[in-house]
Structure 1
Amino acid sequence: MTSRTIETTVRFAQPFRLPGFDMLQPAGDYRIDHDEEALEGLSQIAWHRVGSFIHLPGIGLSGPTRQMVPIKTADLEAALEKDNRGS
């Protein structure tokens, strides 16, 4: 099966927490990886997201370790929406 990883960067203006995170994460830019698998049809290829990951700490931030943590896309979108509202 064919797969790909789409890399994006998101920006949080305020500290945030995603479900399952023990600690509040500082504001800043964060790299997000979305893993997708191809769904091959008769005439075209569609992609199905099979996993999303956030890289911690954020870009330019220091920490004792670097890690890639699985997240739910819906949780990330909700956290970004909350950040955009400023609450």
Structure 2
Amino acid sequence: MSIRSRREFVTFKHPFRIRSIERLLPEGTYEVVTDEELIEGLSFAAYRRVATMMMVPVAGSRSAAVEMLSISSVDLADAQRVDASASDD
């Protein structure tokens, strides 16, 4: 089984929530890591997502410390949608 990781950065213009994270996160740019595994037996390369993680500030820390938390890609998309619609106001 072959796994690859993709890194991207997402920016939120407003404080936001991700369903699996129990606190409000501040606006800013966040690193998101997505692990995907190769689907075997196909005549072309195809991958399926197996994990999505987000680097977030450590709760209650005033330093630059971050922690990597597992999130749902659907929850991330929902948070991005809410943030974008708040920008339209």
Q: TM-score range by the shorter chain?
A: 0.7 to 0.9
Unaligned runs of 5+ in 2: none
Counterpart-to-counterpart distance in 1, 2:63 and 2:18: 18
Aligned-pair RMSD on alpha carbons? 1.9
Q: Percent identity?
A: 35
Q: Which runs of 4+ in 1 moved over 6 A?
A: none
Shift of 1:42: 4.0
Question: Given the alignment of the two structures, is residue 67 of structure 1 paired with residue 67 of structure 2, yes or no?
Answer: yes
Q: Secondary structure in 2 aligned to 1:84?
A: helix
Secondary structure at the aligned position of 1:40 is classed as: coil
Note the C-alpha offset of 1:40: 2.5
CA deviation after TM superposition for structure 1 residue 86, in Å:
0.6
Task: Tell me the matched-pair count.
Answer: 84
Q: Tell me how far 1:32 sits from its aligned partner.
A: 0.1
Change (3 A) 1:17 1:51: same
Report the Cα offset of residue 41 of structure 1: 3.0
> Does residue 47 of the first structure (1) align with residue 47 of the second (2)?
yes
Q: CA deviation at 1:20?
A: 2.5
Correspondence 1:3-82 to 2 at 5 A = 3-57=3-57, 63=63, 65-82=65-82
Return the alpha-carbon distance in structure 2 between the equivalents of residues 80 and 42 of structure 1.
Answer: 33
Distance in structure 2 (CA, Å) of the matches to 1:37 and 1:74: 18
**For structure 1, which runs of at least 5 residues remain unmatched after alignment?**
none
